[in-house]
């Protein structure tokens, strides 16, 4: 991709943007990043994004027009197929299909976690916490070797779950301990992801402060 430049159009807090950023960082490819205020979306952004959401990946080519990709996993799959570096999927088609299933599971898990994190009342928080923990228990049952989802090698499933686990590192043990207790494999995985350089670098240095500010602005129970 020597004649191609990449621009990730993002929002500082978006977990779906982080997926793409992690893959780009794992591939070791330079890219530009432009953050968008999603509360006041600029016209140029709306012209590029059919859904009005991030991430977008602008692919600028020396020998052709710019292309814009949307949807995080579409972007991640493109990067996997077009960039060099260590592959984030196994070669075997059946194994790849299995992992893509867990990526879909990861998106649903993120939804449960997000609703728990943003809950404004105790019944909602309790229900979503239970749903999230149930999903973690399912993961505990399939994780065998660590430190990553498929073993020693970091892969696409790890890029999907890392932004989700990051929230609970910010909130600390009072919140996270009841959710992750008695889940040793998930805990080992979560710790390994937190220390991965691509995961660390996928967000800005003020990410934790921004996330806590988000909780306060939305009057979430966890902001207290």
Q: Is residue 87 part of a domain?
A: no
77 and 153 assigned to the same domain: no
Query: Is 76 considered catalytic here?
Result: no
Q: Which domain holds residue 150?
A: 93-223
Q: Which of 6, 8, 9, 14 is catalytic?
A: 14
Task: Report how many domains make up the chain.
Answer: 2
114 and 153 assigned to the same domain: yes
Instruction: State the pTM of this model.
Output: 0.96
CATH number at residue 63: 3.40.30.10
Give the model confidence (pLDDT) of 132-182 as tens digits: 999 999 999 999 888 999 999 999 999 999 999 999 999 989 999 999 999
Rounded Cα–Cα distance for residues 112 and 125 (Å): 10
Contacts of 7 (CB under 8 A, 6+ apart): 31, 32, 33, 34, 57, 58, 60
Q: Is residue 172 part of a domain?
A: yes
2 — pLDDT class (breaks 50, 70, 90): low
78 and 98 assigned to the same domain: no
143 and 32 assigned to the same domain: no
Q: Is residue 88 part of a domain?
A: no
104 and 205 assigned to the same domain: yes
């Amino acid at each position: 991709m020597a004649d191609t430049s990449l621009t990730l159009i993002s929002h500082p807090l978006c977990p779906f943007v982080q997926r793409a950023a992690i893959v780009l960082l794992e591939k070791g490819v330079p890219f530009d990043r432009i953050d968008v205020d999603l509360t006041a979306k600029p016209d140029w952004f709306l012209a590029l994004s059919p859904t009005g959401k991030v991430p977008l990946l602008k692919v600028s080519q020396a020998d052709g027009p710019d292309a814009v990709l949307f949807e995080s996993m579409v972007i991640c799959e493109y990067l996997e197929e077009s960039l060099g570096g260590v592959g984030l999927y196994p070669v075997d088609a059946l194994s790849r299909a299995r992992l893509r299933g867990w990526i879909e599971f990861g998106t649903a898990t993120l939804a449960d976690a997000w609703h728990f994190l943003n809950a404004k009342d105790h019944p909602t928080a309790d229900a979503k916490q239970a749903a999230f923990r149930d999903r973690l228990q399912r993961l505990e049952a399939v994780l065998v070797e660590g430190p990553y989802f498929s073993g020693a090698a970091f892969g696409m499933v790890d890029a999907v779950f890392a932004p989700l686990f990051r929230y609970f590192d910010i909130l600390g043990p009072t919140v996270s301990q009841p959710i992750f207790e008695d889940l040793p494999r998930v805990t080992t995985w979560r710790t390994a992801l937190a220390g991965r350089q691509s995961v660390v670098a996928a967000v800005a240095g003020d990410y934790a402060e921004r996330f806590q500010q988000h909780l306060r602005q939305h009057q979430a129970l966890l902001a207290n």
